[in-house]
Amino acid sequence: MAKVITTEELKKKIDAKENFYLIDARGENGFKAMHIPGAKNVPNTPDFLDKFEKEVGAPKDAEIIIYCGSAACMASVEAAQTLEKAGYTNVVHHKDGVAGWQLVGYEFSIS
């Protein structure tokens, strides 16, 4: 199972401009409405892995932080498991998702 990162830890990584891939596993409409700054939208659909490899192109050992709507949302858990099964070795789960980000009052991006 993927490591877990807190909302505060993720915010520190973003502010420090650390090198990682931030993936929003929600659908396109949710992503467009609001997402964590710097995130790329790769919805957790049956073709998630293909889309991830084509659109993100992260090396297998890169840090990949993945999230969805909230701790109750399973899309990011499933997407993280898909990446790990495909050989990605540094997958991190932000379990609180956009709900946790919003709860502490951090700003969102809109597209």
Residue 38: left (phi > 0), alpha (psi -120 to 50), or beta?
Answer: left
- The segments of the chain whose pLDDT lies below 50 read none
Asked whether the CA dihedral 78, 52, 27, 34 is positive or negative, the reply is: positive
Query: pTM of this prediction?
Result: 0.95
Q: What is the pLDDT of residue 89?
A: 96
Q: What is the pLDDT of residue 1?
A: 66
The CATH T-level fold of domain 3-56+68-103 is Oxidized Rhodanese; domain 1 (3.40.250)
